[in-house]
Structure 1
Amino acid sequence: MRTIIVLALLAFAMPAFAANHAVQIKGMKFNPAKISAAVGDTITFTNADSMTHTATALDGSFDTGHLAAGKSAKVKVSAAGAHPFHCTIHSSMKGIVTAK
């Protein structure tokens, strides 16, 4: 019985593994444009377009910087809530990360 209790306590003490979410930038759009994530997860933005783009959170929580064609950048979700983002070069490109 004691072993079962110790194992159960260890299971609760083990850290959760962060997930990685992939977003492709192509055709002047983020795909997917709506991402559900957990705090601590990462998002990899990959530019599959022929022009430079960014993925910049309106609240300043993340910014990929300029991504040339074929380049990627990884950002970490650091806070719960809704984090709308856009391309600072092309204002029509928008998305949102919702983190729990």
Structure 2
Amino acid sequence: MRRVNPFSRRLFWQGLGASLALVTTRRAVSTHEGTHVVDVKVSGFEFAPAAVEIIAGDTVVWVNHDIAPHTATAVEGDWDTGTLEKGEEARIIFKEPGLHRYFCAYHPHMTGEIRVRSKPGG
């Protein structure tokens, strides 16, 4: 039978203590308090990021960095930023959960989507 020396015993207890600490420690939970603003950059004839996930009540801001005018127009037609010239921005608050796909009315190959989740706890 193999003998347990003080060094291996100490490693065992250190490992056990670390394992118990990890199991019993609460993990940090990301909360979404208040409303947030998410920026979408319009540049190089692209929306960046092209896909955004937010919570109901959050605001998305499109800022046009291109020389050409652009829009962010809902595929379903229920919202539109209007024409954004270089340096202009538009804000839309998304209150209802769901998937909102959009495109640029001037450049239909430019597309994006906003996934709106329900408020936490509600």
Instruction: Figure out how many residues of one structure are paired with residues of the other and give that number.
Output: 85
TM-score (norm 1): 0.81
Deviations 1:18-67 (A, max 9, x none): 11000000000000000001111000100000010000111234211000
Report the Cα distance in structure 2 between the residues aligned to 1:63 and 1:74, rounded to whole angstroms.
10
Q: Identity percentage over the alignment?
A: 33
| 1:98 equivalent among 115, 118, 122 | 115
- Indicate if the aligned counterparts of 1:62 and 1:76 stay in contact, CA closer than 8 A: no
Report the Cα distance in structure 2 between the residues aligned to 1:62 and 1:98, rounded to whole angstroms.
15
Task: Give 1:79 shift.
Answer: 1.3
Structure 1, unpaired ranges of 5+: 1-15
TM-score (norm 2): 0.67
Answering whether residue 38 of structure 2 is matched by residue 21 of structure 1, we say yes
Which structure has greater strand proportion? Answer: 1
SS in 2 for 1:70: coil
Larger Rg: 2
- Indicate if the aligned counterparts of 1:23 and 1:32 stay in contact, CA closer than 8 A: yes
Answering whether residue 80 of structure 2 is matched by residue 44 of structure 1, we say no
Structure 2, unpaired ranges of 5+: 1-32, 118-122
Report the Cα distance in structure 1 between the residues aligned to 2:90 and 2:56, rounded to whole angstroms.
18
